[in-house]
């Protein structure tokens, strides 16, 4: 892909064009297989179809659907034509979906049957299922446009956890660089990559683009379901499993499915969006002894290439700064602890239609992530938490990630999440939710005593509740807002 200039043209043309590039796996056991040639042809037909229907370069289309092969084809085809796809989080409430689609300026919404009712009135809707989508295709060859340096390839919307979702404008060059850089780090040619995270999220979409550019095959689930994830590994001899730590923790609870599955094909488990603790890493190694565990970090605005684990990063670390990325920590504790600012070719063009939002790009071109890290003496980085998540208890700054890291060293704890609740004396105080290791009966007092023994007293959780699994947001990250609401409800019910 050395000559590629359009992100929609990222598909590798090496090898047999009949090789499967996407295997869409339905929860009913059905499969939709697209070869490389078929994906290329469908993407070209999408590009031609959009232009034939009157859309022009710079127009937008929205995609409101669970993962499926056609989702990828529309994304690639639109970009080939210079039309900007905007994947939409279908787990948003219907008013937020309408707000996002209106903000994007989409002329057309592509959706699946299940999400058609969520598509807003007044915008043409094309359903993947049935005759709608086929009628939009215009088969034939298509020459991708050569984009300008400042021309957006796609718009990805943030989760809206700190306000209404923001449209992040990403250039063609930025994510071609991401794919090339990741391909230089890992040879995925001939690999089978399992993707179950949503394609409206950077994690999944970047992995699919990487696979397309590498000559790998994507095994694509509509959404994450633990048993389906396990079964797909065995049935399709998956070699790369991509996920976030809560997804893997949920998978590890499915004892019956794991007992009958053959997972020996897995060589890499690539996890992002949250730290991987020692307990979870140990259980993954027991289950997948042939697999290398990669803990990665990335953001929509700054891209997925920030750190590298080459040379063996310690458990819990996201590695050292990637050789092609500048990374620095700023703030009172810098350079050992502080907010991460990074610079690379993957940084966004800006936010779409949001003059009200202060740009997170510094005057010297660094993206201020708002994420707090610690860097050890060997140069390895450890995620501590969001600046937004930090709270003050009795005058002490508490980063939930620091407390969670301590709690997760307890031998009976699989996962921990710490959130603040209001307190008349301290202002706020930490409380914790714990997922025990299977078979454990550790109780609240034992967890609190452990925290007091291994961390400063002000960090110890004043209350501890136990869950079978963590509450997850629409991106499969831990839903801190929901946990905080649950904690407040628990305290009021006493």
What's the pLDDT tens digit per position in 197-215? 899 988 899 999 999 999 9
Instruction: For the chain, give every residue range classified as CATH 3.40.50.12780.
Output: 7-371
Read off the pLDDT of residues 20-43 as tens digits, 9 standing for 90 and up.
Answer: 999 999 988 899 999 999 999 999
Mean pLDDT of 172-179: 95
Distance (Å) of CA 212 to CA 14, 39, 40, 233, 244: 11, 10, 10, 19, 21
Tokens at residue 133, please?
């989508």
Confidence of residue 406 (pLDDT cuts 50, 70, 90): confident
Predicted pLDDT at 119: 94
Strand pairing class (307-308; 292-295)? unpaired
- Residue 16 to residue 256: CA distance in whole angstroms: 38
Does residue 328 carry a pLDDT above 90? yes
pTM of the prediction?
0.84
Q: What is the CATH number of domain 7-371?
A: 3.40.50.12780
Instruction: For the chain, give every residue range classified as CATH 3.30.300.30.
Output: 390-492
Predicted pLDDT at 311: 66
Contact 264, 279 (CB under 8 A): no
Q: Which helix (H) or strand (E) holds 16?
A: none
Predicted pLDDT at 424: 72
- Residue 220 to residue 316: CA distance in whole angstroms: 28
Q: Which helix (H) or strand (E) holds 150?
A: none
Does residue 279 carry a pLDDT above 80? no
Contact 353, 165 (CB under 8 A): no
- Residue 412 to residue 37: CA distance in whole angstroms: 50
Summarize the chain as % helix, strand, coil (round to 5).
30, 25, 40
- Residue 170 to residue 351: CA distance in whole angstroms: 9
Short-list 71, 469, 28, CA closest to 231: 28
Among left, alpha and beta (phi > 0; psi -120 to 50; other), residue 285 is alpha
Tell me the torsion sign for CA atoms 243, 244, 250, 252. positive
Query: What class has domain 390-492?
Result: alpha beta
Does residue 1 carry a pLDDT above 60? no
- Residue 382 to residue 279: CA distance in whole angstroms: 16
Percent of the chain with pLDDT over 90: 58
- Residue 487 to residue 255: CA distance in whole angstroms: 29
Longest dimension (CA), the chain: 70
- 367-388 burial, b at 16+ Cβ within 10 Å, e below that, comes to bbbbbbbbbeeeebbbbbbbee
């Amino acid at each position: 892909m050395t000559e590629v200039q359009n992100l929609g043209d990222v598909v590798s043309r090496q090898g047999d064009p009949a090789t499967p590039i996407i295997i869409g796996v339905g929860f009913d056991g059905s499969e939709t297989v697209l070869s490389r040639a078929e994906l290329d042809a469908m993407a070209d037909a999408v590009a031609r179809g959009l232009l034939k229907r009157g859309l022009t370069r710079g127009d937008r289309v929205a995609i409101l659907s669970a993962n499926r092969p056609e989702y990828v084809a529309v994304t690639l085809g639109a970009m080939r034509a210079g039309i900007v796809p905007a994947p939409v989080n279908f787990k948003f409430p219907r008013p937020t979906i309408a707000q996002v689609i209106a903000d994007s300026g989409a002329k057309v919404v592509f959706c699946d049957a299940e999400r058609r009712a969520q598509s807003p009135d007044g915008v043409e809707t094309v359903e993947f299922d049935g005759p709608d989508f086929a009628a939009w295709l215009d088969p034939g060859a298509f020459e991708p446009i050569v984009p300008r340096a400042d021309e957006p390839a796609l718009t990805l919307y943030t989760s809206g956890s700190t306000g209404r979702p923001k449209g992040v404008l990403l250039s063609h060059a930025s994510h071609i660089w991401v794919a090339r850089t990741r391909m230089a780090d890992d040879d995925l040619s001939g690999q089978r990559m399992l993707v179950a995270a949503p394609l409206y999220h950077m994690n999944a979409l970047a992995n699919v683009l990487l696979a397309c550019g590498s000559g790998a095959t994507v095994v694509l689930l509509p959404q994450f379901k633990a048993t389906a994830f396990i079964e797909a590994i065995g049935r399709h001899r998956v070699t790369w499993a991509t996920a976030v730590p809560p997804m893997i923790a949920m998978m590890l609870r499915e004892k019956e499915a794991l007992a009958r599955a053959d997972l020996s094909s897995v060589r890499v488990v690539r996890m992002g969006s949250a730290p991987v603790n020692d307990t979870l890493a140990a259980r993954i190694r027991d289950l997948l002894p042939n697999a290398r565990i990669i803990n990665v970090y990335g953001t929509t605005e700054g891209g997925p290439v920030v750190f590298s684990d080459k040379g063996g990063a310690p458990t819990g670390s996201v590695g050292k700064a990637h050789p092609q990325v500048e990374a620095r920590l700023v703030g009172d504790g810098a350079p050992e602890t502080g907010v991460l600012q990074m610079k690379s070719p993957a940084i966004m063009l800006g936010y779409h239609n949001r003059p009200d939002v202060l740009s997170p790009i510094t005057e010297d071109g660094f993206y201020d992530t708002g994420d707090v890290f610690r860097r050890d003496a060997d140069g390895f980085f450890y995620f501590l938490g969001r600046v937004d998540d930090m709270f003050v208890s009795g005058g002490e700054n508490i980063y939930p990630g620091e407390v969670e890291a301590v709690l997760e060293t307890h031998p009976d704890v699989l996962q921990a999440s710490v959130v603040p609740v209001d307190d008349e004396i301290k202002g706020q105080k930490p409380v914790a939710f714990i997922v025990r290791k299977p078979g454990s009966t550790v109780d609240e007092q034992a967890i609190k005593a452990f925290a007091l023994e291994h961390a400063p007293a002000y960090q110890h959780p004043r209350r501890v509740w136990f869950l079978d699994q963590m509450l997850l947001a629409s991106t499969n990250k831990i839903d801190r807002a929901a946990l905080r609401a649950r904690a407040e409800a628990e305290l009021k019910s006493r």
